[in-house]
Structures are given as C-alpha cells and as structure tokens.
C-alpha cells in the first residue's frame, strides 16, 4: 500500500515534462477555466452562507453566558462547513465536466508512452461526459456517506486527531479515482473501472494526496491541479494496465 502510494506521488515529477513535451497545455485550458470558475463559486457561497449557517448553529447554545463567543465561533464553523462540503463538490463537478477534454489528453499520453499497442473502447464526447457524471455522482455519494460522519466525530477532542487524517485520505482516494478514470474509460466498462480502482487503492490515494495538497496553494493551485494530477494519474494507470496485459 505505501509503496503504491509513493509511486503515484512520484509520478507527478513527470507531469510538467510530459505536458510540455506533448504540448498539452492547450487541451487543459477549458478544464482549468472550469476549475477556476467552480472554485470561485464555492468561495462566494462560503462567504454568503456562513452567517446563515452560523446563526443556525448558534441557536444550539441555550445559555446566556458565552453566547456571543459561541455565535462568533458558529459563524467561523459555518464557513468551514461550506468550504469542506464545497471542496468535496468541487472535485466531482470539475472532474465530471472536464471528462470530454481530459480523456483525449490521456490517450495522447498513452500513444506517446506505448504507441497504438492497446485496443480501446470507442467512446464519444457525449459518452465521456456521461461516464464522468456517472462516476463522479457515485463517488460523491460514497464520499459524503463516509466523510460527514468523520467530520461530526472530528468535533470531539482527541478523536479528531484520527478522523481528520482519515477524512483527508477519503477525499484523496476519490480525487485519484476520478483522475484514473480518464484513462480507464477507454479500456474498461463502468463496473470494471470501479473494481480496478478498488484493487489499486494505493495509486488512487497517492494521486489524490497531491491533488488535495495543490488545492492548498492559493489561486495557482486550483488552476494547475487538474493538468498535473490527470497527467500523473494517466502515467501510473497506464503502467498498471501494461503490467496486466503482459
């Protein structure tokens, strides 16, 4: 598990060189725009709704003493909750809408690394978009089912030292899942891809760890995260597919 995770992380070292070598930046322009616009929308939502959510949380405090302090903390907590849920939504919205642009890029990387050696499933832009929406809706539901209880448990002192890293790894896994599927959609059906990623969780987690880390970089992170992560995911996924075929 650790070896696979580190291998997926290390694949990012090749991303910039591959993107430049194959002149892929032009294909990433629309996905980068989608990423930026989605992030801005989530940011404004956090700004606009934090007060309302904070006011709702503040009502849970029924005592007079410390009410003002709790109200202030509630506003901050409300903003953080919007950002956390927004971050989950951000990944899947961006990945789903970017599928028709990212799948051809993944194919160019495959041809560059392995030639036209593999037989591919025939897919259209519409099919790629629908596949991306279907995969990411599935992942969104599962991520919320797992992450929200962890976030609630994270409100308990001491316990949050365990739940916070777990929540991060869950988000990393599903981020890596989405990136890997840009390659898998040409080779496997929906169900086969789900099983493939389950069998290669370490690769998904490793890819997703850097993906999530990039989002911590103000502005630049949300612009470059998809090109770098999708390229790195293509490399490790293709390596895994090549191993299975030999």
**What are the pLDDT tens digits along the chain (246 aa)?**
788 899 899 999 989 899 999 999 888 999 899 988 988 887 777 677 666 666 666 666 666 666 667 666 666 666 667 777 778 888 899 999 988 888 888 889 999 888 865 556 666 677 788 888 899 999 999 998 998 888 777 766 677 778 888 989 999 999 999 999 999 988 888 899 999 999 999 999 999 999 999 988 888 888 888 899 999 999 999 999 888 776
Question: How many Cβ atoms sit within 10 Å of the Cβ of residue 94?
Answer: 25
Residue partners of 126: CB distance under 8 A and separation at least 6: 100
Contact partners, residue 187, CB within 8 Å, separation at least 6: 118, 120, 121, 241
pLDDT at residue 55, as a whole number? 67
What tokens appear for 89 in the block? 């939504």
Calpha distance 208→246 (Å, rounded): 27
- Retrieve residue 201's tokens: 């969780």
**DSSP designation for 200:** T
pLDDT at res. 45: 73
Structure token pair of residue 109: 């990387």
d(C-alpha 33, C-alpha 31), whole Å: 5
pTM of the model: 0.84
pLDDT score of 77: 67
């Amino acid at each position: 598990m650790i070896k696979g995770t580190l291998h997926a992380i290390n694949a990012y070292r090749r991303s910039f060189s591959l993107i430049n070598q194959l002149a892929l930046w032009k294909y990433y322009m629309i996905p980068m725009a989608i990423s930026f616009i989605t992030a801005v929308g989530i940011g404004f939502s956090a700004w606009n709704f934090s007060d309302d959510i904070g006011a709702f949380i503040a009502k849970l405090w029924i005592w007079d003493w410390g009410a003002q302090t709790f109200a202030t903390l509630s506003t901050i907590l409300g903003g953080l909750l919007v950002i956390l849920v927004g971050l989950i939504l951000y990944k899947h919205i961006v990945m789903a809408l970017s599928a028709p642009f990212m799948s051809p890029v993944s194919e160019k990387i495959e041809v560059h690394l392995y030639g036209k050696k593999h037989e591919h499933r025939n897919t259209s832009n519409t099919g790629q978009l629908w596949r991306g929406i279907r995969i990411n809706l599935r992942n969104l539901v599962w991520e919320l089912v797992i992450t929200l209880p962890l976030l609630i448990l994270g409100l308990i002192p001491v316990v949050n030292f365990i739940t916070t890293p777990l929540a991060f790894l869950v988000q990393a896994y599903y981020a890596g899942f989405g990136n890997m599927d840009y390659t898998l959609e040409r080779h496997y059906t929906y169900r086969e891809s789900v099983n493939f990623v389950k069998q290669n969780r370490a690769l998904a987690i490793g890819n997703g760890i850097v993906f999530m880390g990039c989002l911590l970089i103000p502005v630049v992170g949300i612009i470059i995260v998809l090109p770098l992560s999708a390229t790195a995911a293509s490399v490790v996924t293709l390596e895994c597919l090549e191993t299975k075929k030999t």
